[in-house]
Chain A
Amino acid sequence: MLRFSFMVCGRGAAKRFASSFSGESTLPPNLLLPTNLVDPARLKRPPPPADCSLPVLRKCDAVIPAHLSPLQTWVETLEKQDSEPLGLTQLHPDVFAAPPRLDILYDVETWQRNFKRISYANTKVRSEVRGGGRKPWNQKGSGRARHGSIRSPIWRGGGVAHGPRGPNSYYYMLPMKVRVQGLKVALSSKMAQEYLHIVDSLNIPTPDSQYLLDLIRHRHWGESLLIVDVGEEFPENILQATANLKTVNIIPAIGLNVHSMLKHEAVVLTLETVKFLEDKLLWHDQRYTPLYPFKLPYSDFP
């Protein structure tokens, strides 16, 4: 047994031992680099300068506070692998440049994990275990310890004293405004780390998954991509391309959530998605407290 474990441990040791003697600095084979290390190849395209000649394709509809200025980003296209950006777009600072509240991100992420959780773990209590109604032997005279039932928790085969009594629900709701702020903080974090890309539309030339992978590899977007679009219909090509890919996923804009944004390294939004998100997320900053649930009609619901 000991000889077997020595063989297993010793297999890679020679290779690792040899690399410490090699002249040039070779990376050890068991090295795992974190994915959020800044890759110098990704810093190729800086943010658009103030005097850029490309047209501004979209301006912010909502009122921007006087002391803040809108963000400007490139609008790219997925048609060709190595195409230049089509233009610029303005983004609202309250949605895409919110202060980086990591505590809110943590709260929303743990809420997303736990509010759906129902733990089905269940154990039987001494009253539920089969048997154990009769006193096993007399209280006095037998010489053995005194017992009242053979299913008490100190007995083998007895019930559990303080075990899980499922099904147990972990449901709770964070305030609506906290969840909205979580979305804003997540979008702002992606924007600040240059992992957010705006695209004019999701039309791609082929339904081939390899095309998307090559595009992402060429543009150094990251190892996983989340594509967001407004509306129920998506172009057929992109649906087929992303259907078999594990790391590239497409969701409608109403399905945008903090967990998905943190799980995928890069996020791609279309121009209509940006408009939709700005409408919906900024409405919460100037809304009344609900007189009746927001599911019922209001005259100017976004």
Chain B
Amino acid sequence: MAVSFSLRSSVLRRALSGAFYLHSQTPGAPAAATGLRCVSNAAPEQRKAAIIESTEEYRFVERLIPPSRIPAPPKHVGVTPSGWSPPADSPPPLPYMIRRSRMHNVPVYTDVTNGSRKLTLVRKVEGDIWALEKDVKQHLKEVTGEELPTQVNEVTMTLKVKGHFEKELKDWLVSKGF
């Protein structure tokens, strides 16, 4: 039935192609002029099919939604090519502990205030912060040769050292295993 219908429409189109110049632009027009409805060549059963809802394809949207948690870094042994090194598996046996930041970096930061005041800040300290201050002062004396003024804030558990010593303190803390 479908085959005969499409055959009839194609035969009609070829018959009217010479008569109407606009055949190529409006193939439906000659069929409409002859009184036949030829909206599509599909069979009438398919035009009345039910709408199917599918949520299977939503996985393509779901895999685009970003995560909110920072992932744990993959297992490395030693220093990575970028210079990052993982913390030790077990915390070092010292009276203080320095946690990593949320991006798994050592929490030592430099600051410049009033244009010329240089500070190094060690954050996220837990435990005996005065022992950390003593060790930091002793290590920087070995490295630089001078006694540097430091400030301990017991409420926020941070340590400030005068001067820029980010690299030295980071290497020292990583060597300790923090």
Contacts and interface: CB of A to CB of B under 8 A. Distances in A.
A52 interface: no
Interface string A275-302: 0000000010111100100100111110
Contacts of B99: 65
| Residue of A65, A283, A286 contacting most chain B CB atoms (<10 Å) | A286
A43 interface: no
Interface string B146-171: 00000000010100000000000000
B79 interface: no
A285 B102 CA distance: 7
Contacts of A67: 91, 97, 126
A178 to B, nearest CB: 12
Nearest to A299: B65
B25 to A, nearest CB: 47
A51 interface: no
Contacts of A285: 102
Contacts of A300: 67-69
A285 to B, nearest CB: 7
A219 interface: no
Contacts of B26: none
A84 interface: no
B90 interface: yes
Q: Specify which of B62, B66, B69, B126 lies most central, judged by the most chain A CB atoms within 10 Å of its CB.
A: B69
Nearest to A67: B91
Given A66-B91, A99-B157, A103-B155, A298 B102 contact: no
A101 interface: yes
- Chain A interface, DSSP helix/strand/loop, else mixed: loop
Contacts of A301: 68
Contact of B66 (A66, A99, A298): A298
Interface residues of A, number: 18
Nearest to B154: A99
Nearest to B94: A67
A300 B71 CA distance: 11
A283 B155 contact: no
B70 interface: yes
A300 B62 CA distance: 11
B101 to A, nearest CB: 10
A101 B154 CA distance: 10
A99 B102 CA distance: 18
A286 B104 CA distance: 10
B4 to A, nearest CB: 53
Given A67-B126, A103-B155, A283 B69 contact: yes
Contacts of A287: 68-70, 102
Interface in B52-85: 62, 65-70
Interface string B122-162: 00001000000000000000000000000000010100000
Nearest to A66: B91
Contacts of B65: 297-299
Contacts of B69: 283, 286-288, 300
B59 to A, nearest CB: 12
A288 B68 CA distance: 6
Interface of A: 65-67, 99, 101, 103, 283, 285-288, 291, 294, 297-301
CB-based closest 7 A-B pairs: A67-B91, A298-B68, A299-B65, A67-B97, A299-B67, A300-B67, A66-B91
Given A297-B65, A299-B66, 14 more contacts: A66-B89, A66-B90, A66-B91, A67-B91, A283-B68, A283-B69, A286-B70, A287-B102, A288-B69, A288-B70, A298-B65, A298-B66, A299-B68, A300-B69
14 contacts: A65-B99, A66-B90, A66-B91, A67-B97, A99-B126, A101-B155, A283-B68, A283-B69, A286-B69, A298-B66, A299-B62, A299-B65, A300-B67, A301-B68
